[in-house]
Structure formats: structure tokens, C-alpha cells
């Protein structure tokens, strides 16, 4: 798992031994094609990292129209904002194929920030970088529409 996690920008500020420490706080999850990882409105309580497979992020409009917001594959993360604000999920995420993920709960994230400030700062830097990348991508997509 360390090999895969080291490729995520979220963990780019961590030293290998710090990444080993964080990996022990994570839980592996497998979901089948069509399974929902989380629904819009669910509590935002974790970030997920895709080790294998693919997820589709969908949003349902007030009129019932379904829009595919993103398709995420190996090397992507979903739910980073929940580590910051704990707000409800803003979209539904489901598996396009059998998907293997690892989950870092907000509780474990917060515990790490408090108990190991150096690791916490590195995680926060990675989190900010990931959120910044997502915002830039969204801005580019909006400007192309």
C-alpha cells in the first residue's frame, strides 16, 4: 500500500516513515461495480484514495437531472474537503468497476494532527495542494464550457 500511497499528491510532503505511520491508520475498502461509496447528503467523515478501479461522481439537480461531475481512477482521491469542514457530501460517488480504496477517517486525521504535529502539517500541506489542484481543474473546465 505504501508504494501506491506515495504516488498521491496528498502525501507528497511526508517522509517514508511518516507515510508508513499514516498507512496504519487507514482502512482498505473494496466495492463492486455499481456500489455507492457515499450519497449526496451523507456525513463528510473521510477521504478515500483509489488504489484500483474507477469511481463516478454524480450530482442530481433540483429537477431530477443526473450530471456526471467527474470520473476518477487509480491515483485519485475523493472527499478531501470533509477533512476540513465535515459538511455533508455534495455529490454521490459510485463504482464504475470493482474498486479498491483506502479510507482515512476525519477522526484519525484529526488525531494525527494533534498527536504528531509534524506529520499533521505535512498532511495539511498535501490536503491544501490537492484541494488547490481540484479548484484549478474545475476552473479550467468551467472556462471551456
Give the CA angle between residues 25, 120, 108 to the nearest 5°: 30
User: CATH assignment of 2-143, given 2.60.40.60, 3.50.50.60, 2.60.120.10, 3.40.50.170?
Assistant: 2.60.120.10
pLDDT in tens, 119-137: 989 998 988 888 787 778 7
- Residue 2: band (very low, low, confident or very high) from pLDDT cuts 50, 70, 90: confident
Task: State the CB neighbour count (10 A cutoff) for residue 103.
Answer: 17
pLDDT in tens, 80-99: 888 888 899 999 999 999 99
Q: Could you tell me what percent of the chain has a pLDDT over 70?
A: 97
Amino acid at each position: 500500500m505504501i508504494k501506491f500511497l506515495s504516488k498521491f499528491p496528498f502525501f507528497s510532503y511526508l517522509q517514508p516513515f511518516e507515510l508508513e505511520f499514516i498507512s496504519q491508520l487507514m482502512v482498505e475498502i473494496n466495492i463492486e461495480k455499481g456500489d455507492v461509496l457515499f450519497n449526496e447528503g451523507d456525513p463528510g467523515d473521510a477521504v478515500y484514495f483509489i488504489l484500483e478501479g474507477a469511481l463516478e461522481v454524480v450530482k442530481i439537480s433540483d429537477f431530477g437531472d443526473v450530471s456526471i461531475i467527474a470520473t476518477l481512477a487509480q491515483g485519485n482521491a475523493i472527499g478531501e474537503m470533509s477533512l476540513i469542514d465535515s459538511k455533508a457530501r455534495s455529490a454521490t460517488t459510485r463504482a464504475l468497476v470493482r474498486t479498491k480504496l483506502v479510507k482515512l477517517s476525519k477522526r484519525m486525521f484529526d488525531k494525527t494532527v494533534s498527536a504528531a504535529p509534524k506529520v499533521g502539517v505535512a498532511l495539511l500541506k498535501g490536503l491544501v495542494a490537492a484541494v488547490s489542484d481540484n479548484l484549478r481543474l474545475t476552473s479550467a473546465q468551467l472556462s471551456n464550457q
